[in-house]
């Protein structure tokens, strides 16, 4: 594995029942992940760092604000990829935060993987280490276009 053109900022998140899967996936992809800047919510970040030796910027635990912190980082343009192994078969007490994180990732056009198969596709894509420039939507306010005014004549 050669070093990427530009390290990507990758968030790794997993619900409790999916942490083992994320750790196995991260261990399998350690040689790729070590060339990028990693972010994770609470326990996931601790596990990545202490069990796999992959340094990660740790946010709070998901249920107490970590999901929202990652969402904010996405909106600020600070994350390039989200790998979020969530459990669709188990209700989470912070489901609104989970939905909000997935929504903000979609709104800001962030590549997201919610299962091993998709994460495998993302991590092995030549775009991950290439010159790919992420196209973020432009949500900046625009000057009022007089031609769109209902009173324009």
At residue 40, φ and ψ (nearest 5 deg) are -160, 160
Residue 4 lies in a domain: no
Give the integer Cα–Cα distance in Å for 105 and 83. Answer: 11
What is the Cα–Cα distance from 12 to 42, expressed in whole angstroms? 10
User: What 3-state class would DSSP assign to 104?
Assistant: helix
Residue 1 lies in a domain: no
Q: What is the pLDDT of residues 122-150, one digit of tens each?
A: 999 999 988 888 788 887 766 555 555 55
Q: What is the CATH number of the domain that holds 85?
A: 3.40.50.1380
For residue 87, indicate whether it is catalytic.
Answer: no
Evaluated on CA atoms 39, 32, 134, 118, the torsion sign reads negative
Encode pLDDT of 12-63 as tens digits.
999 888 999 999 999 999 999 999 999 999 999 999 999 999 999 999 988 8
For the chain, what is the domain count?
Answer: 1
User: Which of 67, 97, 131, 138 does the annotation list as catalytic?
Assistant: 67
Q: Which domain holds residue 41?
A: 9-148
């Amino acid at each position: 594995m050669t070093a990427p053109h530009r390290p990507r900022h990758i968030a790794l998140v997993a619900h409790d029942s999916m942490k083992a899967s994320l750790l196995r996936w991260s261990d399998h992809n350690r040689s790729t992940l070590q060339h990028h800047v990693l972010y994770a919510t609470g326990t996931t970040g601790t596990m990545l760092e202490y069990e796999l030796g992959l340094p990660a910027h740790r946010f709070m635990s998901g249920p107490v604000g970590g999901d929202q912190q990652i969402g904010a980082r996405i909106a600020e343009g600070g994350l390039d990829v989200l790998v979020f192994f969530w459990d669709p078969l188990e209700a989470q007490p912070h489901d609104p935060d989970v939905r909000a994180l997935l929504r903000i990732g979609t709104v800001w056009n962030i590549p997201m993987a919610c299962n091993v198969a998709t994460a495998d596709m993302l991590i092995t894509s030549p775009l991950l280490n290439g010159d790919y420039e992420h196209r973020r939507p432009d949500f900046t306010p625009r000057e009022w276009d007089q031609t769109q005014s209902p009173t324009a004549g």
